Structures are given as structure tokens and as C-alpha cells.
Amino acid sequence: MAVALGYGACLPTAAAPLDEPLKPLPPVPTLDAATVELGRQLFNETRLSVNNTKSCASCHQLETGGADKRPFSLGFDGTPVGLNTPTVFNASLNFKQFWNARVDTLQAQVEQVVTGPMEMGNTWQAVTQTLQALPNYQAAFQQIYADGVTAANVQNALATYERTLLTPNSRFDQYLQGNTGILTTQEKYGYQRFKDYGCIACHQGANIGGNMYQKFGVMGDYFKARGNPTEADLGRYLLTQDEEDRNVFKVPSLRNVAVTAPYFHDASANTLEEAVDVMFKYQLGRIPSAEDKTLIIQFLKTLTGEWAGKPL
């Protein structure tokens, strides 16, 4: 479609966004630049951990999908943590944080990770004392916050930075925004199969997940088949002691899923193909044709977005 300008000239018009159940990522928010920069420094600051060995970036590696290539990240003492590290990219769009969705905000997530005995192992009193003793941090906090270095302000700065860690402009986002030629016919078929098989029932919204709970093993006993049960497999049951919450987790986002292997809370799937097989068997109770599985995987690969102006 074009708009005539006279004398035979035409100006292309912007394509209309598609009316689809999935939505494009919102733009990266414009937040206070000084707070974002302070949060970025803190995100990479190993002195948040008790022995100066771990930063947020140690496990949330922004150059490789915002997660950790290890099945289980190593805590401050070198011991593996109990759950696979989810990506920090687009985490601000999740309705809760952590696999078992035990906190509501990014600030609360930061608070627990810093003091977690399996993660950074520190105390907030020690963190604030450490940062107050460093002139560059002392000055930065005083510039931004009237009360300077406090636990709440450290958490606020980190959460502010993390809100900028969105990965827009995936090919699928461009498709949703009206550039329908950006996807191949096979990728479009894959998106249709994703909807037809019911994957979209749990992986919804702009983050294509992250906005509801679901039992792992709706259509079969995944944990019995996998074997070697762990306490972490109990999911939200550990919080609520409600039998209905046994093996229930926050549904993860599928954005950038092609670059965030291994998959699931237990890191049991090393490849996207394995993960799709598990989802079909234990969540949908269906066996897709080989063609449909291939098409869905091709679609999932279109969900990889950009960070800092470059594809992940």
C-alpha cells in the first residue's frame, strides 16, 4: 500500500500490526541514566558476594542469552545451586520471579540472591558497609538517593538496570508489527502449529510465558520417568505445602529460547529438540509429526531478539 504524493510519486505506508494473541515486546523503557549506570556497575560487582567471587553477571551472562551455559550455576563456594538459572533478559515482564515464583518484584529477587546461602551468601549489612567504604559508589549513591547507600537503594538500582534488559526486534516481533515477509513460510506454519497444538495456552502474552503457573507433568509423571527426585522438583509446594502446588512452577518465557540451553528448572533438556519432545509428551499428551516438530522449532528460533543493538 502507498500514499500518492502527486506527480506520480508514492510514499510507502507503515504496515499495520497483526491481531494475534502474542504481542511484541514493549520498547526498552527510558529510565534515569545515572541510576541505570549504577545498576549496571552493581550487576557486575563481585563484592556483592561474601567472598568477592560472584556478581549477578557471573550467572546471568548477557553475552550468551542472559543465563548460564552450565546446567547449574556455581554459588560463592563453588557448589552448584539447586535450579537452572533462568535468563535475566525480559525478567521485568514476568509476573513473579524465581522458578517457584516466590517473590513479586525484581527488588525482592535481588534481596534474596545476595543473601542466599547457595548463591552469594552475604548479608545486606555487609554489602552496604562494603559499598559505603568505596568512594566511587558512595558518590554515585549520594548523587541519586538522598539517603545514600542502603540495602533498598542497592536493590532499586539493580532492578532499574534490569528493567532495561529487554530484547526487542526479534524477527517474530517484526512479523507481529506487520512485516509479514520477515518470516519464511515454514516459520509461519510453525507459529500456526504452536497455536494449534495448544502451546500458546501457557506461553502467552508479550513475554510468551512468565505470566502463570503450571504443573510440570500435566499429562504424565515426568519426575517418575526422569528419576532421582530432588527437593527443588516440588516447586511451589515448598512454599505453600498445598498438594495442588506439588511440581508446579512459573511458566518460563520462550523469548530467546534458542540461545538459553539447557532447559527446564532441572536442566534436563540439552537441546531445543529435547525440550519440545518433553513438552509434547508431558504437558500436551500428544505426539507431533516429525514435520510439525521441525516447524515449531523453526518458529521458536524466530523469538531471538536483540540486546545492545545486536542479535543475541
C-alpha to C-alpha distance for 292 and 190, rounded to whole angstroms? 7
Measured N-to-C along each axis, helices 151-163 and 135-144 cross at an angle, to the nearest 10 degrees, of: 80
- CA gap 293, 288 in Å, rounded: 6
Name the one residue in this structure whose C-alpha cell is 504443573: 215
Residue 128: CB atoms within 10 A of its CB come to 19
Distance CA 25, CA 305 (A): 9
How far is 30 from 108, CA to CA, in rounded Å? 22
152-183 burial code (b ≥16 CB/10 A, e <16): ebbbbbbbbbbbebbbbbbbbbbbbbeeeebb
**Residue 291 catalytic?**
no
| Pairwise CA distance, residues 55 & 39, whole Å | 12
Which candidate in 37, 45, 63, 119 is catalytic? Answer: 119
Residues with a catalytic annotation lie at: 119
